[in-house]
Each structure stands twice: as C-alpha cells, then as structure tokens.
Amino acid sequence: MNIVAKTKRFADSVAFNLRVHGFADRKYLREVMLPATAEAEPSNVMLAGTRRYNTGYPKLFDQQTTAVWTLDFDPRAARFGNGHLHRTCDIREIDRVFSGIRFDVVHINGLLGFGINTDGDIKLMIEAVYRSLVPGGHMMLGWDADASPDPLENETILARFEHKEFGILPARHRVLGMEGHDHVFDWFRAAD
C-alpha cells in the first residue's frame, strides 16, 4: 500500500472514530454508565469488544481497586485493549481463557448481531459469562434494536440472569445509536 493510500485509510479511520465517539450511546457509556459502574468499586471488570473509540474506558475506573480486563476476538484490536490485561479470545470462551479470574461485572456492548448472531452463539456466550462471574455478579448487554432480538425474550438469558438495575443505573436504558437505530443497554444479575 502506498503512502497516499495509507494516509487516506488512517484519516478515514480517525474520522470514523471521532464520529462514533460523538454518538449518544457512546456518550452515555462514558459519562454515565461506566462512571456509575466504577463507583461500585468492583474488583474485576471485563470490557468485551475493543476498538479505538473505547480505549479510554478502562481509565474511568480506579486502577487501585479495579482490574479492568479487555477482550476482543480480532488480534488487530489488541492495541486498543488494556495493555497486559487484554486477551485475544472469543467471548464464548471467557470462562476458559480467564479460568483463574471471576468478574464482578462483564460488560458486553455491540456483540449481539455483530459476531454473536445465532441462538447457539448466544447460549454459548451466556453460559460462559455466567460461569465467569462471581456469585450475584452482573452482566451488561448493549445491543442494537435493529440487529438483534430482545435479550428479555431469550430463555437462556432468563434462566441464568435476573433483569435488574445496577446501582443507580436502570435495568434498561435506550438511546439513539448509529444511523438512527435504538441502542439498548440491559443489566442482568446472575441468579443464585
């Protein structure tokens, strides 16, 4: 690839990331959801899905009280992860890859309908996340209403989790996401 093509590709990437950074769902994540999650002082948090526009998310937590882990299935995304706390893996294998760690919160945003697409995929992900949580731990699913079925209609999720608020955060919050579609944030607490 020549220098002109590389420069254009880089400029396009920066423009895309700036645009995404300004969306209402990303502002809610940065300004409300993640700070409220950090206030709970969880010991271990997993942020699943890593891209340039969310590289600052781990810094919203107190690094003295919370280990913020990141994962993404794409090896190229590792550079946007949280350094030595990043793993390249599939969310459906979180319990195996992080076998010695139990999470207080697993934050999954934008994977449903974008890699986790079938009922089988969702079942494998939910079972693995459930096994990776501390008893009573929390899972947050962020999903696009136009790209994924409602998690509240999924039997696997409802068998393992209770739809429940997290601190001051409501159990469900909708914002206008990319291209005018609703982006929904759902909190779930692992059933005992």
Answer whether residue 20 shows pLDDT above 80: no
The SS3 of residue 13 is helix
Q: Which of 97, 101, 76, 99 is nearest to 87 (CA)?
A: 97
pLDDT at position 114 is 63
What per-residue confidence (pLDDT) applies to 17?
47
- For 138-181, give the secondary structure using H, E and C: EEEEEEECCCCCCHHHCHHHHHHEEECCECCECCEEEEECHHHC
49-83 pLDDT, tens digit per residue, is: 888 878 899 999 999 999 999 999 999 999 999 99
- Position 89 confidence tier, pLDDT thresholds 50, 70, 90: very high
Whether the predicted pLDDT of 6 surpasses 80: no
Angstrom distance (rounded) from CA 38 to CA 180: 29
Task: Write out the H or E segment, with its range, that includes residue 42.
Answer: none
pLDDT digits (tens, 9 = 90+) for 31-40: 999 999 999 9
Q: Would you give the end-to-end CA distance of the chain in angstroms?
A: 54
**Predicted TM-score (pTM) of this structure:** 0.88
Return the pLDDT at 42.
97
